[in-house]
Structure 1
Amino acid sequence: MFGFLKGKSKKEKVFYSMVTGKSIDLSEVDDEMFAGRVLGDGIAVWPEEDVFSAPCTGTVTTVTDTKHAIGLENGDGVQVLIHIGLDTVKLDGKGFETYVEPGQKVKAGDPLVKVDRQMLREEKIPDVSMLVFIEPNGHKLTKFYTGQTVKAGTSPLVEYE
């Protein structure tokens, strides 16, 4: 009885993919800071599209001046960082267009930023992008959906409890 409530509750304990592409374990990212989980645990995606979306419903906490990283906090107080590409900070915002600002409320799947992936390729900058849990707020990450084709805003990437 009331099994549908269980499913709904579980669904709320999910971070969805921030971009359409192929998910990989953080250890596969060619960057010691991310692969070593220095900022926190997480997952990465090799993108196939230019638009990055909110992986959860919550509030935008950070949009870096260089537009390559966006922070979010969901209703459970879990804080994540979306970091687009490797060494993209050196582009100083070139090739990035943001759609959100700090304090803005977003729903899972809402567009956050668009990146010119063609420009990244021309600059020889890997576009692998990370979803890092910088503050789990007492929650435990329980499942990582690695090695899968994922769709922005709808495919689960990480479950927590």
Structure 2
Amino acid sequence: MTTPVTVGVIANPASGRDIRRLTTHASVFPTAEKANMVVRLLAGLGAMGVERVLTLRDKTGISTLLMRALDTHRAVAPHERWPAVEFVDLPISDSVADTHAGAAYMRRMEVALIVVLGGDGTHRAVAAHCGATPLVALSTGTNNAFPEYREATVAGVAAGLAATGVVPAEVAFARN
């Protein structure tokens, strides 16, 4: 694990937006809500002492909205501890290759864990490249078998407790 305590975050901009949403009259999972989930995640991680987050850039707006939220946080609530956010400098292909490369990079950087926002496919893509790095799974996909829905702030608190070692790995994590 790296020092300072570092967590990876991978948010799939395409999750929850596939054709099944149209054919079943289901709502889409908007980009803005994914960015809001990352913001809530940061609040929980920061409150538990996580100092650094590595995340991916994208072309659909999650990273842009996140940068805006970070600027706003610095301006209006600097007393609330959030981790420093670093956008990983990897090529953007707007495909699953971004997820594969991001997960492999985060594993090489020895993040304490990776929080994944996506559906079944996103989580499979991360799991294929994360090695033994634990995953915290947040659902933003369509008709998921996995993961279940979790509130992002609560997930951030739980992930922060695990990443900092306050809750031991054998208690915090279950193989799934």
TM-score (norm 1): 0.30
TM-score (norm 2): 0.28
Structure number having the greater helix percentage: 2
